[in-house]
Amino acid sequence: MRFPSPAENILNRSRSLRSRTDRRKVARRWVHVLVLAMVGWVVATSAFPSVTSPLPTAHAQGIAPSEEAGQNVEMIDAADIEDVMNEAPEIAIGDGGDAPSGIDLLSLFRRGGWFMAPIGLMSMLVVTLAVERSLSLRTSKVLPRGLMEELSDLSAHPDHFPPSTAWEVCHEYPSPAARVVMSMLMRTGQPLGEIERTGTETIQREADRYASPVRWLTLAAAATPLMGLLGTVWGMIVAFHESSTLTADRSRSEQLSEGIYTALVTTLAGLVVAIPAAIFAQYLENRITKLFHRIEELAFAVAPGMARFAGRSKLDNDGQLRPIEASPPPVGTGAPPKEPNHANGVATPPPVASPS
């Protein structure tokens, strides 16, 4: 009858613990969703209050009906209300429709001219990269909880660390953390310093691979305001040029105000794109740093368990532990070395030439 090894017992316990942890995590996730839904409902109801009647009532003023009858209050009859309602459209509309209109975003975009095209492309780039990097840098994608728990359990006893079992665990959770540990496992049989150096290099490569898209967010945060400023400078030049060739029916101040209003649109658009890009870039860079610090801690906790295999065993491409074969001695090109003369188990020194 075969009894499970200590490493297999540790692995089985960690897997059962991981299943219970996953169930708790799903339950907590649903609780968070319900809480967010309730908060959103409260915010929505507070943002859109119910519309009440503009005419105060006796109950709203805290006056009892009996007290209202005794007070000298001017009453509004139905004829006065009808007159006010008939006059309201005339007051709102006016004779020539001179009521101030709101600012339309589409009209602002058109006023910006062709300088708005690169700013619009930058905005699409920022949104795409922010969403993609936020999804890619989730903890479950970079450093799965199951991988961290099982490797921590296996490395708790360095004298009984099984590289083959750790290899299987890394294959079960494909992620940057698993690739770092697998690169170190492939160095099993080499000195501990070589294993740690391999882990450090792999961590640096994985971190660079995850940080390279974030550099585009940094570029957008730096370049988009300059694009907007360029559009503003060009618009100001055009405005002053047109104001110098005014006709008699238009004033210079009116022409300049319209040109400046149009020119500032590109600066506004550039800042609207650049500020979220800078925030997202800083947030993602900090998240990458924290995640790969945790990967480094996990990798250097696993490394001491492989030190006892130095010069004895190594892992093959299938993750199986194989003994290291002794390399044959190098073949020399000169005369073979002389064999020592042994007599009765005692080495005989070479003869000494007598002096002449």
Q: Which tens digits make up the pLDDT trace of 180-225?
A: 999 998 888 888 889 889 999 999 999 999 999 999 999 999 999 9
pLDDT of 100 reads 43
How much of the chain is helix, strand and coil, in % rounded to 5? 70, 5, 30
**How open is the CA angle 85-89-92, to the nearest 5 degrees?**
125
For 93-121, write each residue's pLDDT tens digit.
444 444 345 566 666 667 767 888 888 89
Q: Which two tokens stand for residue 209?
A: 């691979």
- CA 225, 226, 228, 232 torsion-angle sign: positive
Is this structure's pTM higher than 0.85? no
Q: Closest by alpha carbon to 293, among 191, 207, 353?
A: 207
Structure tokens at 312: 């004895």
Mean pLDDT, the chain, integer? 72
The residue ranking higher by pLDDT, 290 or 312, is 290
d(CA 198, CA 180): 9
In order, the DSSP letters of 128-192 are HHHHHHHHHT-HHHHS-HHHHHHHHHHTTSGGG--HHHHHHHHHHS-SHHHHHHHHHHTTTTS-H
Burial of residue 7 (CB within 10 Å: 0-12, 13-18, 19+) is middle
Each residue's pLDDT tens digit, 54-98: 444 444 444 444 454 444 444 445 555 455 445 444 444 444 444
Please choose, from the candidates 309, 291, 313, 293, the residue with its C-alpha nearest in 3D space to the C-alpha of residue 301: 293
- Residue (of 156, 56, 194) closest to 186 by Cα position: 194
